Structure 1
């Protein structure tokens, strides 16, 4: 893994794909329709910045560890508090907002209180709601409010999330933005993340893939998963 981090391709979006859906699936795999086809389509329609785009910090300048970035999602951050769990909530909320499903935009704060959006079609109100949410939600609240999903049932829009644990000071969250399957039922998936300090959302690079593809191959029987440089348990896969 160290070789990929230090010496792997430093060029993001090397083939200049326009959207996540343009990233070709692995040979022998086909993208799934998803249980929620509209949500799946939204994920695949997320626009990507062009070849060579670097992940920018909200405060300006390039983030560290650019090799973790396969492609930058073209979606401006809303605040310096929009970090890993916030990005997952942002993408979910953006889908519901674009679908005019305003009443379904609600998330828990760290105290377990549900915070519902009530601003209708106002983009200004929507962004204000999210900025306020970022200050009172976290990987802890996100993990608690979401329901566990079996790895075998993985869907676009699911989230790998854990709160601080194992002596770690911080938790982490990454979102499944696409899923493909082969004729044997084996799944592959793409991940997107934000991080701390706040930086642009990006498709994660898979350092273990010998073809330099961002797709991760799913071992449904695994108890632990290494996704890029992050370690998750099978029980960390959640859905809204």
Structure 2
């Protein structure tokens, strides 16, 4: 009985924390995360594609090698029991909402939050595929900040919503400097700027692995499509992963609203979406250029 009471106290405490951790948004299904079945999880799988099994009647949407979709679908995961870790090295208070943790380092500066983690994945893909000149993002002000100009030594001078760039640093195209550039982007970009900058995906049939499900705001939230399956009728299901605030491990989320297909999500007819720790009151789909 004492253990049961203690367990209830812990759950209530988590609910209070989670309800206030997103600006007062009510998050349903948090308790359900503890008991959500994970029969579609292959614990030995060490990529997104091999960690999550396919339900009967579906086939996986395959991605072409060399594409961003292929890069994401085959992204490396930590061991199955890996915890979500905060930027300061402490375990996140809620460890029952995920089924996989991506091998994405979390800087100790706390800057790499939800949108930032996905910006990093896109940037590292472009870096690794020798498309460095395509790395660039808009600040919330709308001003474009490219890696190429940063590497040449250009730095922004920010005065309210006015941003100007001038050459104030020595040219440096190293990987270490690249991460300094990303820290700058993390500081001045976010869900709002991504929503304004990126291409809209208007229909579910167009959604690709690597697309973003986003609620732009201050704060907003965003997740990335990590995998897609489809049945003979053309109905699709999606796996999502996310970073978070505070900055923490990027992780594949459970689906506690539809435990029969957990962690796959059905977006058909949806205008809002429940996840283990966040409720999207509305959302849109966007794609990196």
Short-chain TM bin: 0.7 to 0.9
Q: Aligned to 1:152, which of 199, 205, 221?
A: 205
**Root mean square deviation of aligned Cα:** 2.3
Q: Show the 5 A alignment for 1:223-238.
A: 223-228=271-276, 229-233=278-282, 236-238=284-286
Q: Aligned to 2:247, which of 184, 198, 211?
A: 198
Q: Given the alignment of the two structures, is residue 82 of structure 1 paired with residue 134 of structure 2, yes or no?
A: no
Structure 2 unmatched ranges of 5 or more: 1-28, 152-171
Q: Given the alignment of the two structures, is residue 95 of structure 1 paired with residue 125 of structure 2, yes or no?
A: yes
- Deviation string, structure 1 residues 200-236 (Cα, Å, up to 9, x no partner): 00011111233463111231x33333344422535x1
Deviation at 1:50, TM superposition (A): 0.6
Q: Aligned to 1:138, which of 190, 193, 204?
A: 190
Q: Which residue of 2 aligns with 1:51?
A: 80
| In 1, Cα distance between equivalents of 2:177 and 2:82 | 30
Q: Which residue of 2 aligns with 1:70?
A: 99
Task: Indicate conservation of the 8 Å contact 1:139/1:173, yes or no.
Answer: yes
| In 1, Cα distance between equivalents of 2:260 and 2:95 | 19
Rate the CA distance shift 1:104–1:232 in 2: closer, same or farther, 3 A. farther
Q: Given the alignment of the two structures, is residue 5 of structure 1 paired with residue 58 of structure 2, yes or no?
A: no
| In 2, Cα distance between equivalents of 1:14 and 1:21 | 10
Q: Aligned to 2:62, which of 33, 36, 39?
A: 33
TM-score (norm 1): 0.87
Deviation at 1:40, TM superposition (A): 1.4
| In 1, Cα distance between equivalents of 2:287 and 2:281 | 15
Task: Indicate conservation of the 8 Å contact 1:14/1:52, yes or no.
Answer: no
Deviation at 1:51, TM superposition (A): 2.2
Which segment drifts farther, 69-78 or 182-191? 69-78
Task: Indicate conservation of the 8 Å contact 1:216/1:227, yes or no.
Answer: no
- Deviation string, structure 1 residues 102-128 (Cα, Å, up to 9, x no partner): 011111001101111124973212212
Task: Indicate conservation of the 8 Å contact 1:110/1:140, yes or no.
Answer: yes
| In 2, Cα distance between equivalents of 1:14 and 1:32 | 18
| In 2, Cα distance between equivalents of 1:72 and 1:93 | 19
SS in 2 for 1:173: strand
TM-score (norm 2): 0.73
| In 1, Cα distance between equivalents of 2:65 and 2:191 | 24
Deviation at 1:156, TM superposition (A): 0.6
Q: Which residue of 2 aligns with 1:207?
A: 256
Q: Which residue of 2 aligns with 1:125?
A: 177
| In 2, Cα distance between equivalents of 1:233 and 1:30 | 28
Q: Given the alignment of the two structures, is residue 19 of structure 1 paired with residue 36 of structure 2, yes or no?
A: no
Task: Indicate conservation of the 8 Å contact 2:243/2:250, yes or no.
Answer: yes
